[in-house]
Amino acid sequence: MRVLAIEDDPDVGAHLVSGLGEAGFIVDLVSDGDEAWFRGDTEDYAAVILDLGLPRLDGLSVLRRWRSAGRTFPVLILSARGDWDEKAEGIDAGADDYMAKPFVMRELVSRLRGLLRRIAGHVSATITVGRLSLDTSRMTAAIDGRTIRLSPLEYRFLDLLTHQPGRVAAPQQIAEHLYGTADAGDTNAIEALVTRLRRKIGPDIVETRRGLGYALVEDAA
């Protein structure tokens, strides 16, 4: 899934890109509040990690603008401001979670995955849709209990679909979450990916909605 990380410290930013990338996320990194607000207001992100002490526009102002504009993606504040008053102010401004720096990457990844699951209506790290089960903590998949070996792209594709069961993922949305870009040239790559994936999981798990995109079959036989 594609996430937006907003951090003005270059070392922390690099750590976020590396750690979240290893956990299967596509990460866009920005370092100032103005660009953060614009990117979050105009692009499709599964979640946002937001620092508060930003140049040009502070993090709380960015968050309040997003929420006022109706942007509902989950926001995890990651800040050196760790006292209770700061945390309460962040949550009241519309944040879904709050972590203080310094932080442990494993905890950040777990909290981020938890936010994404709850937004999708799931409470367990293992998400089951029809015959497909996806273990988001181990980044593995199974069909009827049988573990399937997946490439990172195949896993990210199924991860996106399991977090929006019953809905169609359009090619543009899929490209953004797989490659970090909505380039129309990625359409053929997505079709090839789905073809390879069906050889592993069977033809009746991922449905092609002609002219619309792809969806998981919730009652595959």
Tokens of 18: 């590396």
Q: What is the pLDDT of residue 150?
A: 93
CATH architecture of 2-119: 3-Layer(aba) Sandwich (3.40)
On whether the CB atoms of residues 77 and 54 are closer than 8 A, the answer is no
Separation of alpha carbons 63 and 184, rounded Å: 30
Separation of alpha carbons 192 and 126, rounded Å: 27
Strand positions, DSSP E, 15-68: 26-30, 47-50
Kindly list the domain boundaries of the chain, sorted by start residue.
Answer: 2-119, 126-216
The stretches in the chain having pLDDT less than 50 are 221
Q: What is the pLDDT of residue 124?
A: 87
How far is residue 213 from each of residues 4, 128, 166, 168, measured CA to CA in Å? 24, 21, 12, 6
Backbone angles phi, psi at 101, to 5 degrees: -85, 150
Per CATH, domain 126-216 is 3.30.360.10: no
Q: What is the pLDDT of residue 2?
A: 93
Q: What is the pLDDT of residue 185?
A: 56
Separation of alpha carbons 51 and 57, rounded Å: 11
Q: Helix, strand or coil for residue 211?
A: coil
Separation of alpha carbons 54 and 59, rounded Å: 6
